[in-house]
Amino acid sequence: MSEKILEIKNLKREFKMGSEIVRALKGVSFDIYAGEFVTIMGSSGSGKTTMLNVLGCLDKPTDGEYLLDGNNIKKLNKNELARLRNRKIGFVFQAYNLLPRTSALENVELPLLYNSDISAKQRREKAMWALEAVKLAERLHHTPSQLSGGQQQRVAIARALVNEPVMLLADEATGNLDSRTSYEIMALMQDLNVNQGKTIVFVTHEPDIASFSSRTVMLKDGKLIKDSRNESLRSAREVLDALPVSDDY
Amino acid sequence: MSVINLIQIALRALQRNKLRAFLTMLGIIIGVAAVIAMVAIGEGSKKSIQDQISSMGSNMITIRPNSNVSGGARLDATSVQSLTEDDIKALQKNMQYINAVSPAVSTRGQVINGAFNWSTSMQGVSPDYLTIRDWGVEDGISFSNSDVSAAAKVCLLGQTVVDNLFPNGESPIGKIIRFKTIPMKVIGVLKKKGENAFGQDQDDVILTPYTTVQKRILASIYFQNIYASAIDENSTDAATEEVSEVLRKTHKIRQGEDDDFAVRTQAELINTFSSTSQLLTVLLAAIAGISLVVGGIGIMNIMYVSVTERTREIGLRMSIGARGIDILLQFLIEAILISITGGLIGITLGITATKVVTAFLSWPTLVTQSSILISFMVCVVTGVFFGYYPAQKASRLDPIEALRYE
């Protein structure tokens, strides 16, 4: 069995809203191993956003254990969490969150700026490599406004890859894209997962997207209701090829 | 995260909003330029007053009879006659911190050369007077001590007197002129000295041996003033002490009694005038300083807007590993960069403005190093002070909420 990247035991997260206590996660347990492609699914209010925040080390659980690559999140302070995010996690957001009027290359370099172990030269090399990995080597100096939505998301994925994280954490990464581009992104994700062995955790509410992952964790009302291997794994590349040639333009 | 990285990040952020960064800077630029220019004008006028006063003789010490009490009534200083030849002799015998002493008796009157006449003042002095006043003879020679003992009818003319008595440009040397009814031989012409700090024409004067004025004109044994010069600028205080001591002895003034004379130095005069123009400098600097504070508030305002506007960016940076301190420093450095750049441009502009003022208005100006240094420091402090609160606000954002901020 491969290495355990993520270990969650009886995870609880409660929020105080005025006098009421909202229990967003009511004791969830699961593990994720290296090389897995996991989708976390659930409708609004299922607790998947809270789950994402905890997994991304942006939030700490109220109770229960969360170990990321052997680090117990509960024992870390804010700065140590920031360091962990910098070294272990690559975020991909729904709205890309690229810096405006900044070239793709500089956007990708950004996480490495917060890592003082990496020199300016290494930073540039790694960013080039990451942009090549998402097949954007020709658009290094384009700013986000000169890129399409899909290209912007690929820049964002390159930014998530550049620090060589143990886990890519995607939050509705296809939410702002049309289906063709969504499939392209999923194909890229599958490629990264299969050919480069990247562990991917993909939060989504679309079952269509979930069908490209090897495993689906389903949340409902703050509880885990289903954790299953995907038997009929689809290849996004094949789906993409099967699509009729677009006549949109 | 290294400082170089932080400066890079801040620079990129400023590049993205060049116009706004410049407009924010403008407040600082104007503030600093105003400080530099205003202080330069203030310092310039101070300097020119100092120069004028020291042109009267920088180490000069003036001794005047003091107002005195006679039968219960306080008398006017000019009516008091207490300085005599004895004082001069005593000073010359004891001098240690002074290198020249000259009495002065003056009188006003009409001076005539043929068809031309002119009303001027005649100063009766000793040959040392020229040394004390740091004055020279342009043409001819000065009178000597033997002229003094003979009460010779010789005189030196100031430039203004020459201009009025010899308007046709002929040389006055060797000519006989008349002061009131007394014929006098012109033996020299004084160098042009210009106006003094009070706007008086220092060249409108005739110098002659003091004995000549005393014996031939005033028939008096008293002096109106005694001038002395200290050996150097630093010993003026010691020289003042020395003069006081000697004169108290010759005037037989007992301990505890008031002096019947007053000793004043140029330094005192300089201080009096300097303090007036110092006040001017402080006022100008204060006005300029206020504009610097306004500029600082401008920075703070823009930084707050910038933090709000870039909330998502802050959230993103935090999610990819920026610590609170990184965000704080990023915004702080942005603010400091704005204020420092503004400061440097402001200094350049201020110096240019000063040059322009001197060139077109011919006002005396003096850009002091301290004004540049201080205004630059104030810029840095302004940047830190007004940049800190917005930066702190940014660093305390919750990344989860910042990422979802619309």
Tokens describing residue B252:
């037989």
Of residues B255 and B56, more confidently modeled: B255
pLDDT attached to residue A213: 92
Which run of H or E residues covers position A4?
A: strand A4-17
Sequential pLDDT tens for chain A (249 residues): 578 899 999 999 999 888 899 899 999 999 999 999 999 999 888 888 899 999 999 998 999 999 999 889 988 999 999 999 999 999 999 999 999 888 999 999 999 988 888 888 999 999 999 999 999 999 999 999 999 999 999 999 999 999 999 999 999 999 889 988 999 999 999 999 999 899 999 999 888 889 999 999 999 999 999 999 988 888 888 888 888 876 555
DSSP string, A103-167: -HHHHHHHHHHT-TTS-HHHHHHHHHHHHHHTT-GGGTT--GGGS-HHHHHHHHHHHHHTT--SE
A101 closest CB neighbour out of B16, B316, B320 = B16
φ, ψ at A208 (rounded to 5°): -55, -45
Contacts of B325 in chain A (CB under 8 A): 79
pLDDT attached to residue A240: 87
Residue B317 identity (one-letter amino acid): R
pLDDT attached to residue B364: 85
- pLDDT per position as a tens digit, B290-306: 888 888 898 899 999 99
pLDDT attached to residue B180: 86
- CB–CB contact B320 A115 (8 Å): no
Mean pLDDT (chain B) is 86
Asked if residue B46 has pLDDT above 90, the reply is: no
Of residues A96 and B279, more confidently modeled: A96
Contacts of B324 in chain A (CB under 8 A): 78-79, 82
pLDDT attached to residue B57: 63
Please state, in angstroms and rounded to a whole number, the distance separating the CA atoms of residues B346 and B357. 16
- CB–CB contact A114 B326 (8 Å): yes
pLDDT band at B283 (very low <50, low <70, confident <90, very high): confident
Please state, in angstroms and rounded to a whole number, the distance separating the CA atoms of residues A120 and B32. 36
B398: closest chain A residue by CA: A58
pLDDT band at B350 (very low <50, low <70, confident <90, very high): very high
B6: closest chain A residue by CA: A113
- CB–CB contact A97 B315 (8 Å): yes
pLDDT attached to residue B5: 81
- CB–CB contact A78 B323 (8 Å): yes
Delimit the domains of chain B by residue range. Answer: 3-52+272-404, 81-259
CB pairs under 8 A between A and B: 69
Flag whether residue A111 sits within 8 Å of chain B, measured between CB atoms.
yes
Query: What superfamily in CATH does domain A35-60+79-242 come from?
Result: P-loop containing nucleotide triphosphate hydrolases (3.40.50.300)
Please state, in angstroms and rounded to a whole number, the distance separating the CA atoms of residues B146 and B152. 8
Asked if residue B39 has pLDDT above 70, the reply is: yes
- CB–CB contact A97 B324 (8 Å): no
pLDDT attached to residue B244: 86
The neighbour count for residue A51, using CB atoms within 10 Å, is 26
- Look at residues A192, A166, A158 and name the one whose alpha carbon lies nearest to residue A34: A166
- pLDDT per position as a tens digit, B107-166: 899 999 888 889 999 999 999 888 888 888 888 888 888 998 999 999 999 999 999 999
**Residue whose pair of structure tokens reads 């009929």 in the numeric block:** A232
Asked if residue B396 has pLDDT above 60, the reply is: yes
- CB–CB contact A85 B16 (8 Å): no
pLDDT attached to residue B389: 93
Contacts of B16 in chain A (CB under 8 A): 100-102
% of chain B beyond a pLDDT of 90: 30
- pLDDT per position as a tens digit, B180-237: 889 999 999 999 887 776 678 888 999 999 999 988 888 888 888 888 888 877 788 8
Contacts of B320 in chain A (CB under 8 A): 85-86, 91, 110-111, 114, 159, 163
- CB–CB contact A97 B403 (8 Å): yes
Of residues B159 and B76, more confidently modeled: B159
Tokens describing residue A174:
């296809």
pLDDT attached to residue A124: 93
Best B320, B328, B395, B406 residue to mutate vs chain A (most A CBs within 10 Å): B320
Tokens describing residue B238:
């010691």
Q: Is B58 helix (H, G, I), strand (E, B) or coil?
A: coil
Please state, in angstroms and rounded to a whole number, the distance separating the CA atoms of residues A15 and A18. 9
Flag whether residue A144 sits within 8 Å of chain B, measured between CB atoms.
no
Classify the C-alpha dihedral B365-B369-B372-B374 as positive or negative. Answer: negative
Please state, in angstroms and rounded to a whole number, the distance separating the CA atoms of residues B325 and A77. 13
pTM above 0.90, yes or no: no
ipTM for the predicted complex comes to 0.92
A116 closest CB neighbour out of B2, B16, B322 = B2
Please state, in angstroms and rounded to a whole number, the distance separating the CA atoms of residues B306 and A135. 34
pLDDT attached to residue B277: 74
pLDDT (average), residues B245-251: 86
Please state, in angstroms and rounded to a whole number, the distance separating the CA atoms of residues A206 and A215. 14
% of chain B beyond a pLDDT of 70: 94
pLDDT (average), residues B265-275: 74
Best A48, A58, A77, A102 residue to mutate vs chain B (most B CBs within 10 Å): A58
pLDDT (average), residues B254-274: 77
- CB–CB contact A85 B320 (8 Å): yes
B403: closest chain A residue by CA: A97
